[in-house]
Amino acid sequence: MHLQQVRGYADIMAAHAGAATEAWRDGQEADVEQEMDRLTLSIVTAALFKLDSSAHAETVGETLPALQEIATRQFDRLIQVPEWIPTRENRRQRDLSAKLRGIVMAELLKRRAADAEGNDLLTMMVQASDAETGEGMTDAEICDEVVTLYLAGHETTALTLTYCWYQMARQPAIEARFHDEIDRVLAGRAPRFEDLERLPYTRMVFKEALRLYPPAYFMVRAVAEPFEMGGHRIPAGSVLMTSQFGMHRHPDLWDDPERFDPERFADDAERGWHKFKYFPFGGGPRICIGNQFALVEGPLILASIGQRYRFELLQPDQQVELEPQITLGPKGGLPLRLRQRSTGAGASTE
């Protein structure tokens, strides 16, 4: 997940983003959240696990959102029904989960049998061994890791992209600056990893969306040892919650915090900030392991799609309503109108 590793995934990211627009039509209304979700899921499938997407994408694309929907319903409930009670929802969850694990397990066995070599995560996990004990990971452990990475690795980025398109649909000046940058730097060709340095405004748009709409908008920690904070004694065993959403919009920390303004990130300004003023990827030992992946993937997708399509609000007063669940999503999705761009529309793979 280091930058050099992620660099190897950049072409897959740009190619999938380009392909995603092939079925789009000028003037069509589309749920942008769903479109972005499908796209980032296909990228995780192809880049991280090198699963044969044509064979698996459909099953993964169906089971994963269905499992997420169930998890969201459970998150909303005050009283949880234990998993072992065979309610209709629990049974469905078990079936979907078994289907997903079936795919991962089949791929896993193939790689074990072939003594596979490669740099995809699944192969790396098959080969990994504990530095002290020499023990490898069990199939069940690998399966858990894969499902976690699938869940953690696509919806967050998809939501951030959705808010980028929404804000650019609302603010023509920001959209124009973005178009100017990608048209000038790429001149119609597909973006590559090396281009990111020359696409600072595109990256600023993505970072500002992560500020105003942090997809992971809260974190929870269990207190291991008692300590004092702000005059309060916090006993061991307490559960503390901190909120990216709250900090990213705090009026003591930000000028006009509710305004979407990529300029805040000019010249990588965030490098000089306190690390918990802006922390969309969390912090400390459990910081997001996919942050480099997301910071490469997001701008590459923006640049790739932005050359071909722009997005329009359905009505001038259209407002997104946020729905804080496991992640911070737009309530009822985010329908926008797709408009094919006349310039730079045919990004080639040159």
Q: Which residues bind ligand HEM (CB under 6 A)?
A: 148-149, 152-153, 156-157, 160, 215-216, 219, 280-282, 286, 288-290, 293-294
Q: Retrieve residue 246's tokens.
A: 């709250």
Distance, CA of 155 to CA of 160 (rounded, Å) = 9
Q: Which is nearer to ligand HEM, 9 or 309 (CB)?
A: 9
Strands (E), 245-344: 309-312, 322-324, 328-330, 335-340
Q: Which is nearer to ligand HEM, 215 or 299 (CB)?
A: 215
Q: Which is nearer to ligand HEM, 28 or 119 (CB)?
A: 119
Distance, CA of 68 to CA of 41 (rounded, Å) = 13
Minimum distance between the CB of residue 203 and ligand HEM, rounded to whole angstroms? Answer: 13
Minimum distance between the CB of residue 34 and ligand HEM, rounded to whole angstroms? Answer: 17
Minimum distance between the CB of residue 295 and ligand HEM, rounded to whole angstroms? Answer: 8
Minimum distance between the CB of residue 141 and ligand HEM, rounded to whole angstroms? Answer: 14
Q: Which is nearer to ligand HEM, 68 or 318 (CB)?
A: 68
DSSP bridge partners of 228: 233
Q: Retrieve residue 78's tokens.
A: 């005050």
Distance, CA of 83 to CA of 60 (rounded, Å) = 22
Distance, CA of 49 to CA of 55 (rounded, Å) = 13
Q: Which is nearer to ligand HEM, 283 or 346 (CB)?
A: 283
Determine the residue with CB nearest ligand HEM. Answer: 290
Q: Which is nearer to ligand HEM, 74 or 243 (CB)?
A: 243
| Closest C-alpha to 152, from 246, 50, 41 | 41
Minimum distance between the CB of residue 245 and ligand HEM, rounded to whole angstroms? Answer: 11
| Closest C-alpha to 23, from 341, 338, 342 | 338
Q: Which is nearer to ligand HEM, 148 or 343 (CB)?
A: 148
Q: Which is nearer to ligand HEM, 49 or 347 (CB)?
A: 49
Minimum distance between the CB of residue 36 and ligand HEM, rounded to whole angstroms? Answer: 11
| Rg of the Cα atoms in the chain | 21
Minimum distance between the CB of residue 108 and ligand HEM, rounded to whole angstroms? Answer: 18
Minimum distance between the CB of residue 109 and ligand HEM, rounded to whole angstroms? Answer: 23
DSSP bridge partners of 348: 189
Q: H or E stretch including 88? A: helix 88-114
Name residues whose C-beta falls within 8 Å of residue 198's C-beta, 6 or more positions apart in sequence: 185
Q: H or E stretch including 222? A: strand 219-222
Distance, CA of 243 to CA of 225 (rounded, Å) = 21
Minimum distance between the CB of residue 184 and ligand HEM, rounded to whole angstroms? Answer: 26
Q: What angle separates helix 291-306 from helix 172-186, to the nearest 10 degrees?
A: 90
DSSP bridge partners of 62: none
Q: Do the Cβ atoms of 337 and 27 come closer than 8 Å?
A: yes
Helices (H), the chain: 3-7, 10-20, 32-43, 53-76, 88-114, 121-127, 139-170, 172-186, 200-212, 244-248, 291-306
Q: Which is nearer to ligand HEM, 126 or 209 (CB)?
A: 209
